[in-house]
Amino acid sequence: MIRNSFIFLENISARKEQHLWQQGITDWDAFLKTDTIPRIPYQKKQYYNRKIREARQAWQENDSTYFRGKLPASVCWRLYDYFREEAGLLDIEIDSYGKITVVGISNYYKTNFLVRGVNLSTALLQKEIQKYKILLTFNGASFDLPALQKQFQINLTIPHIDLKPLCIKLGLKGGLKEVEKQLGLNRPAHLYGNPVELWKAFRASGDQEYLELLLEYNREDTENLKGVMDYVYGKLKAGMLLRLR
C-alpha cells in the first residue's frame, strides 16, 4: 500500500491523494510516467518526482526510517505489508507510581523482556528496538512511547503504528483485552489480572512466580498485537483498494 501513497508529499492531503487516484494515478510509477497533472505546476511536479524516487529507493533498500515523520500517523499502517516480517511488537508494564517495570518487545515468535532492576536500561532498549523496521503498540502514542522517552530518553527512528485509533476507526472500542475478545483472540483466564499488583507482590515477597506471571501477562499483550494488526490491516487495505478503483 505504501507505493499507492502520495500523502507523504508536501501539501498532498488525503483529499488531494484521492483526486490523484480518481485520475488513474494510483501508484508511484503512474505518477512518474504522467507528464502533467491538473493543479500541479510543472516545477512542483518535478519536485514531487524527486521525492517519489527517494521514497522508492528507500523502499527498495528496506529503509523504513525514511518514512518516519513523513506519513501521518493515521496512514502509517500502509507500511505494514512490506515490513510485517520485521515488525516489533511492544508493550510496557508500570508500577503504581507510573514507573516502568517491564518492557516486552517481540517479533511474535519470541518475546524479549527488559525488567527493572535486572536488564532494563536505555542502551538495551535502543538495541532491541533497532532490530525492527516498524514498531506496533496499542495506545503507544499516548502511553508507552511517552513513558519510555521520559524515563529512558530513547530515540525512536523507525515508524510507529498505534493500533488503538485504527481500531476505533473500525468500530472496535475499548482496551486491548476488549478488542481481543471482539476479534476472538482469547487469552488464558489467569492472564486477565492486574499487572501492577503482580509487580507489587513480587517486590514485596521476592517470589519469582509473581514475576513469571507478570512476564506471561506481558507476553500475551505483546504477541496479540499481531493478530489485531493483521485484522486492522486487512480491513483498511480493502477500503483503500475500493478507492483505488
What is Dmax (Cα atoms) for the chain?
71
Q: What is the pLDDT of residue 85?
A: 96
pLDDT at 146 over 80: yes
At 113 the three-state DSSP class reads strand
Chain-centre distance for alpha carbon 78: 10
- For residues 11-27, give the mean pLDDT: 96
Q: What is the mean pLDDT of the chain?
A: 96
The residue behind cell 517479533 is: 107
pLDDT at 51 over 90: yes
Quick: pLDDT tens for 188-211: 887 777 999 999 999 999 999 999
- The whole-angstrom separation of Cα 189 and Cα 238 is 33
128-151: b (≥16 Cβ within 10 Å) or e? bbeebbbbbbbbbeebbbebbeeb
Paired residues of 90 in beta bridges: 105
Query: What are 164's three cell numbers?
Result: 488503538
Q: What is the DSSP letter of 175?
A: S
Residues in the chain: 245
Quick: pLDDT tens for 71-80: 999 999 999 9
Q: What is the dihedral sign for C-alpha 104, 85, 167, 28? A: positive
Helix H or strand E encompassing 60: helix 42-60
Locate the domains of the chain by residue range: 2-61, 81-237
Architecture of the domain spanning 81-237: 2-Layer Sandwich (3.30)
Q: What is the pLDDT of residue 187?
A: 84
- For residues 87-95, give the mean pLDDT: 98
Q: What is the pLDDT of residue 191?
A: 77
**Measured at the alpha carbon of residue 58, what is the angle toward residues 54 and 62, in degrees to the nearest 5?**
170
Nearest Cα to Cα of residue 114 among 191, 224, 211, 197: 211
- The whole-angstrom separation of Cα 101 and Cα 34 is 54
- The whole-angstrom separation of Cα 92 and Cα 214 is 11
pLDDT at 173 over 90: yes
At 103 the three-state DSSP class reads strand
Nearest Cα to Cα of residue 125 among 96, 153, 94: 153
Paired residues of 113 in beta bridges: 104
- The whole-angstrom separation of Cα 27 and Cα 4 is 4
Please give the model's pTM, rounded to 2 decimal places. 0.95
Contact status, residue 64 vs residue 55, Cβ threshold 8 Å:
no
pLDDT at 186 over 90: no
